[in-house]
């Protein structure tokens, strides 16, 4: 009979049998756990389409107020007044609101009541109109004018309206009378002296006679034509005897 070594051999064989699988399990590589799946990519939110601008109707125009017919029409532009004559030592007569009395030979008297100017248009020089000084005078109770390039050589003119018609201009009277010379020299159209009038005094001009009203010639002719003509009376003769035609 063998000694009691058998049980130990069996125990060793059992230990080896247990140790083998454990060692194999330790030598085997560890199985990694599967990684978490990546999250799916986020989808970009859809872009909202911009709303198209709505067509706006044009604002209605405000009704313009009708022109006020009651407003007065603008006054026409009048040409500027001509500059007064340059101050000279020989322009010494100033009567303010009075008339200036001038006298010549044979007790010929002239009252100067207003001073002014008239623009004379020259067709040969339309861009450079000429201006002439004008005096309104009273002679023997009638209104007349005297005009010239200055106040030292004046020509005789008719009434103010006649002077405007002759020159084609418009008279412009000075707001303040222009000083006058001591002597008014009246010349002809050719410039030859006709008379000299010396200043006498300042005063009130005599009353002006009303111009006679001119009768229209056409009216008088129409009245004459409207009058019926009286029939001519036949010459008397003996009864029953006819007169020859030459006698009628």
Q: Are 181 and 95 in contact (CB under 8 A)?
A: no
User: How far apart are alpha carbons 82 and 56 in whole angstroms?
Assistant: 61
Spans of the chain, pLDDT less than 70: 1-89, 210-248
> What is the structure's pLDDT at 91?
84
Classify residue 222 as exposed, middle or buried by CB count within 10 Å of its CB (0-12, 13-18, 19+). exposed
168 DSSP assignment:
T
Q: Are 146 and 137 in contact (CB under 8 A)?
A: yes
* C-alpha neighbours within 13 Å on the C-beta side of residue 60: 3
Q: Are 147 and 169 in contact (CB under 8 A)?
A: no
User: What phi and psi values does residue 106 have, to the nearest 5 degrees?
Assistant: 60, 35
Residue 177 CA to chain centroid, in angstroms?
31
The SS3 call for residue 106 is helix
> What is the structure's pLDDT at 248?
46
Q: Are 100 and 111 in contact (CB under 8 A)?
A: yes
Q: Are 148 and 133 in contact (CB under 8 A)?
A: yes
User: How far apart are alpha carbons 98 and 114 in whole angstroms?
Assistant: 9
Comparing C-alpha atoms, which of 151, 175, 155 is closest to residue 166? 155
> What is the structure's pLDDT at 122?
74
Residue 99 CA to chain centroid, in angstroms?
39
> What is the structure's pLDDT at 214?
45
pTM as predicted:
0.51
User: What phi and psi values does residue 78 have, to the nearest 5 degrees?
Assistant: -100, 145
Residues 6+ apart with CB under 8 A from 198: 102, 103, 104, 182, 183
DSSP element (H, E) containing 31? none
């Amino acid at each position: 009979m063998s000694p009691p070594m058998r049980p130990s051999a069996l125990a060793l064989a059992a230990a080896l049998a247990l140790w083998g699988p454990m060692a194999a399990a330790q030598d085997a590589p560890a199985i990694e756990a599967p990684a978490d799946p990546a999250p799916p990519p986020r989808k970009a939110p859809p872009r909202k389409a911009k709303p198209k601008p709505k067509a706006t109707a044009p604002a209605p125009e405000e009704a313009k107020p009708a022109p006020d017919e009651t407003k007065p029409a603008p006054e026409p532009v009048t040409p500027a007044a001509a500059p007064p004559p340059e101050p000279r030592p020989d322009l010494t007569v100033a009567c303010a609101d009075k008339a200036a009395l001038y006298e010549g030979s044979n007790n010929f008297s002239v009252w100067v009541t207003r001073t002014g100017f008239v623009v004379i248009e020259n067709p040969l020089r339309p861009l450079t109109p000429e201006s002439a000084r004008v005096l309104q005078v009273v002679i023997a109770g009638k209104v007349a004018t005297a005009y010239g390039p200055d106040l030292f050589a004046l020509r005789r003119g008719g009434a103010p309206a006649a002077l405007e018609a002759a020159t084609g201009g418009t008279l412009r009277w000075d707001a303040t009378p222009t000083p006058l010379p001591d002597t008014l020299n009246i010349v002809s159209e050719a410039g030859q002296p006709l008379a000299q009038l010396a200043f006498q005094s300042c005063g009130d001009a005599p009353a002006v006679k009303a111009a006679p009203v001119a009768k229209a010639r056409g009216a008088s002719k129409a009245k004459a034509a409207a009058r019926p003509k009286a029939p001519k009376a036949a010459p008397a003769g003996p009864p029953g005897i006819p007169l020859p035609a030459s006698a009628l």
